Structures are given as C-alpha cells and as structure tokens.
Amino acid sequence: MAEISNPGARVRVVFLASLYEASGRRREVEVEVPSGTTVVELAKLLEDLIPGLRGRLVEGDSIAEGVEVLVNGRNIEWLDGPATKLRGGEVVVFFPPAAGG
C-alpha cells in the first residue's frame, strides 16, 4: 500500500475500476489530513498528489459527476455529501457507478 504523508488524521483511500487505472494502478493509499477535512477537500488533495486523477474527482466545489464516494461503506449522499467531515480512521472509496441490466 502506498503512503502519502500530510500531517493530521490518517485516512485509507481505495480506488476502484477506471479510477484505479487513473491512479497509476494504486488500489489504495493512506493519507494524513487535518481532522475535519471534508471529502471534497480530500478529493482535491488526491488530484494534486496523483497526476492521473487530475480533473477526475472534483468539479468546482463538489465531487465530479460520475464519481461515487463511500465513507466507511456509506454513500456520502446519505451523510453530508461532499461536506462529509473526516476525523481519521475512515476508509474512503472512490469509484464510477456501475451500469448494467
């Protein structure tokens, strides 16, 4: 597992499907962010730290259309959306929605 340091609370980030490919085939990374960092702030940090993710996770001040985010297995839509705060110890999963029939 790759580790990206930034002082604060430790969060494990998992990339699935096309975001796994865009991340340079990193399944997961650990990052440290200040406690209270929001999901969208985390996504912006990830875009800055991992070049292949630039422009894929964030649009303006929100999560990009076509990207789903889970925090500890719960969709952020059922939490506080992109403003969901992280305190440390969370597992944050970024993935494109699946389609099928």
Determine contact, residues 60/46, Cβ cutoff 8 Å: no
Q: Which CATH superfamily is domain 2-95 in?
A: Beta-grasp domain (3.10.20.30)
pLDDT, one tens digit per residue, over 43-79 is: 999 999 999 999 999 999 999 999 999 999 999 999 9
Determine contact, residues 19/28, Cβ cutoff 8 Å: no
For residue 62 the two structure tokens come to: 């929100």
Percent of the chain with pLDDT over 90: 86
Q: 40: buried, middle or exposed (CB in 10 Å: 19+, 13-18, 0-12)?
A: buried
Residue 2 confidence (pLDDT) above 60:
no
Kind plus residue range of the DSSP H or E element containing 50: none
Contacts of 82 (CB under 8 A, 6+ apart): 38, 39, 40, 43, 61, 62, 63, 76
The DSSP 8-state label assigned to residue 25 in this structure reads S
Model's pTM, two decimal places? Answer: 0.89
Locate the domains of the chain by residue range.
Answer: 2-95
